[in-house]
């Protein structure tokens, strides 16, 4: 091998390593945020079970839950990008298809539009989304209950909150699907 081939191989190794390390870092960020969220949520619920509903605390938990929902999406997108790019280097540049995690191994059919192997029906990323959606919905309901609105308006407001969360989840899912397709195109070009 000449010096250009060695330099190219070393650069590919660095690209692979940095993408994979960043994907792992993103997963750790999500886990740390969720751990902190769970501790804050548990402590707050214990406090409110003893003293009653505290609207400033419930408002804080509503905002924290919605921010966690959005953060979960942002970190999911970064994880998809970095993990798939590292796998493209693994498969296309080093011809190590049998070590593929997200894309099909030799002889395995691709079920997903992006060329990926079809994922499980319920995956951990969906559980994280549901956790934050549930927190947002519950604290929105509690705050709506505190208002002096007519019962029909309270019910209507609860339905609006539920529809808003479902709409956000669908928009996040569509954006995630678009990222999968873009990276799938990159995989086909490589």
pTM for this prediction = 0.84
Q: Per residue in 87-113, pLDDT tens?
A: 888 888 888 877 777 776 666 666 555
CA distance 7 to 22: 22
* Whole-Å CA distances, 84 to 23, 49, 91, 120: 9, 45, 10, 17
Report the phi/psi class of residue 107: left, alpha or beta, with left for phi > 0 and alpha for psi in -120 to 50: left
Q: Per residue in 127-161, pLDDT tens?
A: 999 999 999 999 999 999 988 889 999 999 999 99
Phi then psi for residue 44, to 5 deg, are -70, -40
CA distance 122 to 110: 19
- For 15-77, the three-class secondary structure string (H helix, E strand, C coil) is HHHHHHHHHHHHHHHHHHHHHHHHHHHHHHHHHHHHHCCCHHHHHHHHHHHHHHHHHHHHHHH
């Amino acid at each position: 091998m000449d010096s250009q081939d060695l330099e190219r191989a070393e650069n590919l190794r660095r690209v692979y390593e940095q993408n994979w390390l960043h994907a792992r870092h993103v997963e750790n960020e999500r886990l740390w945020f969720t751990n902190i969220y769970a501790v804050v949520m548990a402590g707050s619920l214990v406090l409110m079970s003893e003293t009653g509903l505290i609207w400033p605390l419930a408002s804080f938990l509503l905002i924290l839950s919605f921010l966690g929902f959005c953060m979960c999406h942002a970190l999911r997108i970064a994880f998809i990008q970095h993990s798939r790019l590292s796998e493209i280097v693994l498969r296309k540049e080093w011809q190590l298809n049998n070590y593929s995690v997200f894309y099909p191994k030799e002889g395995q059919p691709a079920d997903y539009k992006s060329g990926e192997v079809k994922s499980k029906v319920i995956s951990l990323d969906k559980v994280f989304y549901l956790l934050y959606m549930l927190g947002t919905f519950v604290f929105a309901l509690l705050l709506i209950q505190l208002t002096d609105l007519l019962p029909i308006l309270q019910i209507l407001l609860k339905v609006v909150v539920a529809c808003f969360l479902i709409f956000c989840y669908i928009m996040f899912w569509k954006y995630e699907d678009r990222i999968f397709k873009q990276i799938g195109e990159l995989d086909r070009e490589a």
